[in-house]
């Protein structure tokens, strides 16, 4: 894995104690761009659909936690990178195929504005097939990584709390993970997509720590919902590692 700015100390705090770095709304008001249009074919909770729309807007802007260094427009290369970040951990061939399909919707546009980005990307095949639970887990894990490591607040406090409460209600294992477990899962999930966020030495040390703590995350144990046959983020990780 390539060297990364990730530091275990930054992520050692328990996940359940996380509070976003800021509640500021960056740039123009973060609304729900065309929400009814982009989510109309998905049987998702309205609040979660709104949160997903705001999440995609925040990914597009890429603001620092203090609201600075925001992108005004994204070019196609930036959109491709964002697509890989938000999709579940599948093979690089599957990723490339999906990215190519989504990018086709932008035709010959040199730059893609935020509204078109949200409208098109929200309908990607893997979000539709994976289902609401997996997408919520992807967003939740990305919010943790962004806040602790990249210093970017992807969701406001209220939206983050709603997302976490929704996952807890669903019985997801993610809200109960320790900071180290969440960090390990993020490293594994991103590496399966060819996005190495942690160097080999740090990864090995973290894995050793979790093994000594007898963490279920490093034992390739199915999470409770996966055992029931439901789609979960951990299930995607397990299937990608079995290939």
CB 39 within 8 A of CB 49: yes
Q: Do residues 71 and 61 make contact, with C-beta atoms less than 8 angstroms apart?
A: yes
The DSSP result for 45-96, as a single string, is -HHHHHHHHHHHHHHHH---TTS-S--S-EEHHHHHHHHHHHS-S--HHHHH
Q: Is 8 helix (H, G, I), strand (E, B) or coil?
A: helix
**Residue written as tokens 């700015």?**
5
**Enclosing domain of residue 209:** 8-242
Does residue 29 belong to any structural domain of this protein? yes
Answer for the pair 75, 106: CB distance below 8 angstroms, yes or no: no
- Reported in sequence order, the residue ranges of the chain that DSSP labels E, i.e. its strands, are 74-75, 111-112
78: tokens are 């930036």
Give the pLDDT band of residue 175 (cuts 50, 70, 90): very high
Predicted confidence (pLDDT) at residue 27 exceeds the cutoff of 80 = no
Return d(Cα 174, Cα 103) in angstroms, integer: 31
Token output for 200: 């080999």
Whether residue 19 is predicted with pLDDT greater than 60 in this model: the reply is no
In the beta sheet, which residues pair with residue 112?
Answer: 74
Could you tell me if residue 1 is inside a domain?
no
Q: pTM score, two decimals?
A: 0.82
pLDDT band at 39 (very low <50, low <70, confident <90, very high): low
pLDDT band at 41 (very low <50, low <70, confident <90, very high): low
Helix axes of 179-192 and 200-212: crossing angle, nearest 10 degrees: 130
* Sign (positive or negative) of CA dihedral 55, 59, 60, 63: positive
Q: How many domains does the chain fold into? A: 1
Q: For residues 206 and 221, what is the distance between their CA atoms, to the nearest angstrom? A: 17
Overall average pLDDT of the 105-117 stretch: 91
Q: How far is residue 178's CA from residue 20's CA, in Å, rounded to a whole number?
A: 17
Q: 178: Cβ–Cβ under 8 A, 6 or more apart, which residues?
A: 14, 15, 215
User: Which pLDDT band holds residue 6 (cuts at 50, 70, 90)?
Assistant: very low
Mean pLDDT of 147-161: 87
Give per-residue pLDDT as tens, 54-92. 999 999 999 888 888 899 999 999 999 999 999 998 888
User: For the residues 25-49, what does the mean pLDDT come to?
Assistant: 57
In the chain, what percentage of residues exceed pLDDT 90? 52
Q: d(Cα 225, Cα 167) in Å, to the nearest integer?
A: 11
| H or E, element range at 107 | none
d(CA 204, CA 46): 41
């Amino acid at each position: 894995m390539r060297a990364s700015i990730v530091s275990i100390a930054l992520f050692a705090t328990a996940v359940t104690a996380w509070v976003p770095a800021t509640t500021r709304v960056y740039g123009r008001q973060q609304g729900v761009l065309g929400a009814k249009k982009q989510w109309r074919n998905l049987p998702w909770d309205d609040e979660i659909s709104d949160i997903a729309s705001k999440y995609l807007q925040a990914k597009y802007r890429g603001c620092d936690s203090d609201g600075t260094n925001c992108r005004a427009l994204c070019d196609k290369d930036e959109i491709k990178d964002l697509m890989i970040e938000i999709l579940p951990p599948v093979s690089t061939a599957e990723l490339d195929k999906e990215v190519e399909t989504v990018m086709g919707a932008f035709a010959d546009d040199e730059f893609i504005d935020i509204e078109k980005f949200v409208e098109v990307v929200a309908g990607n095949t893997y979000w539709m097939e994976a289902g609401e639970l997996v997408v919520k887990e992807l967003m939740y894990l990305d919010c943790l990584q962004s806040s602790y490591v990249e210093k970017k607040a992807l969701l406001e406090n209220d939206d983050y709390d709603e997302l976490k409460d929704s996952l807890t209600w669903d019985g997801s294992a993610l809200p109960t993970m320790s900071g180290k477990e969440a960090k390990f899962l993020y490293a594994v999930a991103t590496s399966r997509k060819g996005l190495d966020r942690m160097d080999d030495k740090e990864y090995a040390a973290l894995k050793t720590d979790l093994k000594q703590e007898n963490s279920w995350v490093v034992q390739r144990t199915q999470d409770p919902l996966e055992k029931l046959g439901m789609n979960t983020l951990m299930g995607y990780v397990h299937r990608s590692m079995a290939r």
